[in-house]
Each structure stands twice: as structure tokens, then as C-alpha cells.
Structure 1
Amino acid sequence: MKDNEPTLSSIEDYDTLKGEKKRIVWTVIVIGLLIGAVFVGAKYYYGDANDSIPVEDTIGKVPVK
């Protein structure tokens, strides 16, 4: 029984990407970097969240069934 999954050596553009595939890969990379930059910019602009709730309760004994 032969597996139907592709191997790296059977993919025709394994070593180099050409044409539209290369453009799509670069577009995805650039969009990811832009989204990351927007989140970093928002974090610096709005600052850190200071709305944490302090919890001072300690667990003395964990109930076990």
C-alpha cells in the first residue's frame, strides 16, 4: 500500500519558489509583520494593562474525592 502524502523531493518547487507562489509567500510575510507592528504600536500607545485583580487567598488543602 502506497502513501498518498507528498514528499519534499516530489514537490516541483521544493528548492525555489517562482512566479505567483513567491509573491503570495512574500505577501503573507509582509502582512504578518504589519499586523505585528500594529499590535506593538498599540501596546506602546495605550501602555500596559493595570486592571489586574490581586488575589491573596492561599490554598491550604486541595479536596480529593
Structure 2
Amino acid sequence: MQDNEPTLSSIEDYDTLKGSKKRVVWAVIISGLLLGTIFITAKVMYGEVEDSVAVHESIGKVPVK
């Protein structure tokens, strides 16, 4: 039985990425960092909720059909 799956040793750029693949990897990393920074900034700026409604009731028993 012959295995048609590529192996790590047969992939040309296993050790180093070159060309457009390297740019894509860096673009994904940079965009992830930028999105994370945006979310952290928004959480710091708007994290506190001042107009929340306090709820003092608790659920005693959940009805199950």
C-alpha cells in the first residue's frame, strides 16, 4: 500500500518559509496582535458598566419537560 500523504521531509519549505508564504504568516500574526490590542483598549476604556440592573432573584428549580 502506497501512502500519498506528504511527509515533513518532502515539503520544500519545511525548515524555512520563503516568499509569499512568509508574508502571509507575518500578516496573520500582525493582524492578530492588532485585533488583540484593539479589544484590550476597548475593554480598558469601556470596561466598567455604570447602568446595570441588579437582580436579586435566584433560580430554585429549572422546569424540565
Under a length normalisation based on structure 1, what TM-score does the superposition of the two structures give? 0.69
Q: How far 1:28 sits from its partner (Å)? A: 0.8
Q: Unaligned regions of 5+ residues in structure 1, if any?
A: none
Q: How far 1:48 sits from its partner (Å)? A: 4.2
How many correspondences in the alignment?
Answer: 63
Change in 2 beyond 3 A, CA 1:49/1:11 = farther
Instruction: Determine the C-alpha separation between the residues in 2 that align with 1:35 and 1:13.
Output: 28
Structure with greater proportional helix content:
1
Instruction: Determine the C-alpha separation between the residues in 2 that align with 1:10 and 1:44.
Output: 47
Identity of aligned residues (%): 56
Change in 2 beyond 3 A, CA 1:15/1:49 = farther
Q: Unaligned regions of 5+ residues in structure 2, if any?
A: none
Matched residue, 1:23: 23
Q: How far 1:53 sits from its partner (Å)? A: 6.9
CA RMSD of aligned residues (A): 2.7
